[in-house]
Amino acid sequence: MNNNVRLAEILTAVRNKTPLVHAITNYVTINDCANVLLSYGASPAMCESCDEVYDFARLASSLYINLGTLTKEQEQSVILAAESAKEHGIPVVLDPVACGAIPRKLEVIGRIHELGRIDVIKGNIGEIKFLAGLDSATRGVDSLDTGDGALEACRLVASKYGCVVAATGSEDYITDGTRSAVIKNGTELFTKITGAGCMTGALCAGAAGASEDRFLSTVSAILTMNVAGEEAAKKAAFPGSFRMNFIDSIYALDEGKLLKEGDVEWI
Amino acid sequence: MNNNVRLAEILTAVRNKTPLVHAITNYVTINDCANVLLSYGASPAMCESCDEVYDFARLASSLYINLGTLTKEQEQSVILAAESAKEHGIPVVLDPVACGAIPRKLEVIGRIHELGRIDVIKGNIGEIKFLAGLDSATRGVDSLDTGDGALEACRLVASKYGCVVAATGSEDYITDGTRSAVIKNGTELFTKITGAGCMTGALCAGAAGASEDRFLSTVSAILTMNVAGEEAAKKAAFPGSFRMNFIDSIYALDEGKLLKEGDVEWI
Amino acid sequence: MNNNVRLAEILTAVRNKTPLVHAITNYVTINDCANVLLSYGASPAMCESCDEVYDFARLASSLYINLGTLTKEQEQSVILAAESAKEHGIPVVLDPVACGAIPRKLEVIGRIHELGRIDVIKGNIGEIKFLAGLDSATRGVDSLDTGDGALEACRLVASKYGCVVAATGSEDYITDGTRSAVIKNGTELFTKITGAGCMTGALCAGAAGASEDRFLSTVSAILTMNVAGEEAAKKAAFPGSFRMNFIDSIYALDEGKLLKEGDVEWI
């Protein structure tokens, strides 16, 4: 069976398993992350109090940690949740939002890595290059990078943290250090709404909760995001209606559409 | 005048009074709760700092407490707000989100009951069964319960907390211990968006701020939610567009439509 | 060149510059603020942890402070961010949400003024009258004021805080103490969705990040909000679909439309 078929099957696996995704995420796009996970077929649970997360994480299929608006209480919670994930064998997907612009983020990532576990890091190209120790152009939470050298950056970060790494941009790069893929699908409209990056990370966590192969589950989730985005962009040219159609498209996407429209280069 | 007519009149009462609903609620669906209350005809005010809530609650027509993402600061605030509600005669609607999965929630509910007041508890069937001390199937924040024994669970919780209790699911059960009702309206699409339960609770608080009869106000609010959901499902088959149409349908709903479409069994 | 032309040019300036708007804002409408800024052409960054804001504010084109759901942590952060803005010459737009109903808000505004800087205050008419020391009718976070005396209230607040002041309502009043304007555009549907006021404030911060003339930038931002609202109201009569169309309309608005539809009285 070729890899493209396996990507499509992971979409179905999410829908069959309804993985419980424990998310600790930023307040800007927390609603978008919950809705995209529901449309994907997963069951989101945003549980973030430091009194709750250790015990709750053990119930989950996967843990999504997004460092966007990391409050002091969330800072404690993400460490505790990651420790619980390590203890109980739960895969962890990390979105290192603005790690280059805000030094505190890097410290927290270091502690998650040391005390807990990280199975997948999904960032924009600027964030991944920063984690790789490379220069990159950013503005606030957004990457202004053109993507040159992105795959090499992913490989460096994969080696450093021992996990799957994805760098998203006009093209998306994914590697586990050995296998790599480039996704050519997508739409410029993702840059006109907030939360495209966060929703991509949430889907990666959904897929990680339904498939043991973290590399393929990550490629499948990011491909799902981008093919659904293309479908939505056919129906809506402006950000407000695009956003609504995008959630519909995630829900309507099936294996056949993903196989037909997906444009993945395996490296 | 029969009960169905009174349910419809409560919808109009909300629009005539514009009750100020003081909400302390989770960050996932806080925007949805504000928007659904505005479309319903109420005036939402999300005030949650522990320095503010005691004084603010006295200005309100009703208080909505939703324990979804209960931060440490919110934990203090819900107690203070409930104490103020007790002192100043403000009705309190409680949504015990995930009380079965997260033990801390039950402690907080106990303190709200002891120090403040609870007029209505609105949960999913799994949550209500848990509060009744019965077993139930849940996954994260969602109930997987089929609804057998739900009304009996509502009665047990109504007796324990001395309040109106509603358990929502494919059918919705409401009781004040003496009078009971079952609502047959609704749509499966509510399970494909986040916040259907939270919005139902928010509407219960809106109705409680416009009617003295907490049993009928709760039935009216839940019926409004479900009839509007059915209307939206006629226009949209997918979650993103359903969600937008649902807010429109709440706004467009009137007494005639509620009476014509409402399917309530009085027990 | 007349003022109306300059208002239109500020819209284009935002799109050309893509100002980075550092926002510390309430959790009810934080997603709406991010999306409206993106559709406007700005780059929003919601950075609010007290460990991050001082260093982050210096990177921004402008700082938006909205006191809606001010947590204890945000209370520290808004002061630190405003101090950084003062130190680094970053313009600050303040939305004094519910300052009349909640005394703590006034204390925080005083400290922002004393320790940091305030370039623009954008409130509803009730809030601005309260800051001016005048009586006004309010309900929770909403103003019930008819607008009589609003411009005089703006002038008093402009004098007190030494900044541009805008009071929004069915008509909008803006002054820098010398120059004044009244905007006649708008739609009643803004009162049926949450976040219209917050989004207006966010746009004021976007414009302040792209133009040195804070009076004209504020008039331009509020005019953009209202003309886009009128466009959306032509397409949607209900709150859910209005909200979606409004984001589309902000994105689609151009200089020609703003000049043609804008109804500004210069005083």
Amino acid making up residue C110: G
The pLDDT score that the predictor gives to residue B145 is 77
CB of A27 less than 8 A from some CB of B: yes
Ordered per-residue pLDDT tens for chain C, 267 residues? 689 999 999 999 999 999 999 999 999 999 999 999 999 999 999 999 999 999 999 999 999 999 999 999 999 999 999 999 999 999 999 999 999 999 999 999 999 999 999 999 999 999 999 999 998 877 777 777 778 899 999 999 999 999 999 999 999 999 999 999 999 999 999 999 999 999 999 999 999 999 999 999 999 999 999 999 999 999 999 999 999 999 999 999 999 999 999 999 999
The pLDDT score that the predictor gives to residue A1 is 63
C-alpha B41/C-alpha A134 separation (Å) is 54
On chain A, the residues whose CB falls within 8 A of the CB of B192 are: 38-39, 251
Could you tell me what percent of chain A has a pLDDT over 90?
94
Residue B124, pLDDT above cutoff 90 = yes
The pLDDT score that the predictor gives to residue C1 is 63
What is the rounded average pLDDT for all residues in chain A? Answer: 96
What is the rounded average pLDDT for all residues in chain B? Answer: 96
The pLDDT score that the predictor gives to residue C104 is 94
Residue-range definition of the domain harbouring residue C151 = 3-266
pLDDT, tens digit, for every residue of A116-145? 999 999 999 999 999 999 988 777 777 777
> What crossing angle do the helices spanning A239-252 and B239-252 adopt, rounded to 10°?
120
Question: From the CA atom positions of chain A, what is the Rg in Å?
Answer: 17
The pLDDT score that the predictor gives to residue B1 is 62
The pLDDT score that the predictor gives to residue A135 is 84
Residue A214, pLDDT above cutoff 90 = yes
The pLDDT score that the predictor gives to residue B127 is 96
C-alpha A112/C-alpha A120 separation (Å) is 12
- State the pTM of this model: 0.97
Neighbors of chain A by Cβ distance (3+ pairs < 8 Å) = B, C
Instruction: Note which residues in 215-254 of chain C have CB less than 8 A from chain A.
Output: 243-248, 251-252
pLDDT, tens digit, for every residue of B17-39? 999 999 999 999 999 999 999 99
Q: Nearest CA to CA, how far is C260 from chain B (Å)?
A: 30
Between these two residues, B143 and A56, which has the higher pLDDT value?
Answer: A56
Cβ distance of B73 and C70 shorter than 8 Å: no
Q: Nearest CA to CA, how far is C241 from chain B (Å)?
A: 6
The full 3-state SS of chain C, as one line of letters, equals CCHHHHHHHHHHHHHHHCCEEEEECCCCCHHHHHHHHHHHCCEEEECCCCCCHHHHHCCCCEEEEECCCCCHHHHHHHHHHHHHHHHHCCCEEEECCCCCCCHHHHHHHHHHHHHCCCCEEEEEHHHHHHHCCCCCCEECCEECCCCCCHHHHHHHHHHHHCCEEEEECCCEEEECCCCEEEECCCCHHHHHCCCHHHHHHHHHHHHHCCCCCHHHHHHHHHHHHHHHHHHHHHHCCCHHHHHHHHHHHHHHCCHHHHHHHCCEEEC
Q: What is the number of domains present in chain B?
A: 1
Considering CB atoms only, which of A43, A51, A243 is closest to B142?
A43
CATH number, domain containing residue A210: 3.40.1190.20
pLDDT, tens digit, for every residue of A220-251? 999 999 999 999 999 999 999 999 999 999 99
The pLDDT score that the predictor gives to residue A199 is 98
Instruction: Note which residues in 130-159 of chain B have CB less than 8 A from chain C.
Output: none
C-alpha A37/C-alpha A204 separation (Å) is 10
Contacts of B114 (CB under 8 A, 6+ apart): none
Cβ distance of B38 and C192 shorter than 8 Å: yes
pLDDT, tens digit, for every residue of B174-206? 999 999 999 999 999 999 999 999 999 999 999
On chain C, the residues whose CB falls within 8 A of the CB of A191 are: 38
The pLDDT score that the predictor gives to residue A61 is 98
CB of B69 less than 8 A from some CB of A: yes
Per-residue confidence band for A30, with pLDDT thresholds at 50, 70 and 90: very high
pLDDT, tens digit, for every residue of B206-232? 999 999 999 999 999 999 999 999 999
CA dihedral C105→C107→C108→C112, nearest 10 degrees, is 130
For residues B85-96, average pLDDT: 98
Q: Nearest CA to CA, how far is A120 from chain B (Å)?
A: 22
